[in-house]
Amino acid sequence: MKTFDSSSQPLVPERQASPAPPLGLTTLADNVGLVLEEISTLEAELDFLEGALPPLKAKIDAAVRPLIDEIIRLRQELVGIVERLLNVAPRRSSLHRDGMDLILHLATDLEERFGVDVRQILNRWNPSSPETEDDEDLEAEDFSWARAETHVPPRPESRQNPKRIPLNPETAGKAIYRSLARELHPDKTRDESERLRRTHLMQNLTKAWRERDLGALLKLLHAHGSDEAKEDALDPASLKICFKGLCETRDQLRRKVRHLRHQGLPGGVVDWLPIVRDPKLFERLLRRQKSLAREELEPLRHWKAQWQSPGGLERFFREVPEEMWDQVV
């Protein structure tokens, strides 16, 4: 994974909003090193989660999917029961009006929670009224002249600050490569074990340079370069640009890791990381997911039996106010 590629997104030195003492080269290099260490940690965590989460989620889906399918089927059957009752009820009755609201509630739940296509249901119970047809006729006419934004003069194009010059990764990478190569060359030592270590480092250095992987070159500079090599590799302006680019890379990795760690489930998962690492926590989560699905099935079966009985739907509307529908059905 390439850590930082300034060619895909030009990066520039930050302008200081208020006077402050400039960071020295050593301080900048230390900050770059800290960000590189955090990036390495985040990359390892991201790789771990991307590898561990899919099989666990597949196991949960295999265990809970039959229950979810039954929930969907029962909700669709409830919609069918209400539709059949409305087809024989007077159109201006309270039963017809409340029944249409109940169908909308059930259909919306099917769509938002389970991704079921409910357009046919909504089309059957949302007939266009004369007022709606008039609105459609108005929408067909062109009233763009009445919009305020059409009378706002366009903004002049902003001029780019000529001082904001993006870093050339080719130049920066070459400087790092040359500085490290002079210091780490195997011929500069007679110790055989040190020579092998340097040979390995030079292979990594050459590979990073051939791939123009500025992030890998910076990691090698931070981990194996002396203070002299660091000072010789990059000037303060280039180092500041690299630091900004690495901070952006770190922030992107933080968002990705946070997204993976905190993907929620109906069971209220707060953080996947401890669950992935502890099989006991995962088994507890799995039991919780199955328990939640079974808890949802029980009232659905109850309402199905009641609504199919004579006067059952009317009794439901009398006993359960609309603001409680989310809790009971």
Task: Report in angstroms the alpha-carbon separations of 327 from 204, 209, 305, 321, 324.
Answer: 60, 61, 18, 11, 5
**pLDDT per residue as tens, the chain (329 positions):** 444 444 333 333 343 443 433 444 557 777 887 888 888 899 999 999 999 999 999 999 999 999 999 999 999 999 999 999 999 988 888 999 999 999 999 999 999 988 899 888 888 886 543 444 444 444 455 545 445 445 455 555 544 444 444 556 677 788 888 888 888 888 888 888 988 998 998 998 898 888 888 778 888 888 888 878 877 777 777 778 888 888 888 999 999 999 988 887 655 567 898 999 999 999 998 999 899 999 999 999 999 999 999 999 999 999 999 999 988 88
> Residue 1: its pLDDT value, please?
44
pTM for the full model? 0.58
For the CA atoms of 122, 126, 127, 131, the dihedral, rounded to the nearest 10 degrees, stands at -140
> Residue 81: its pLDDT value, please?
95
- Sequence letter at residue 327: Q
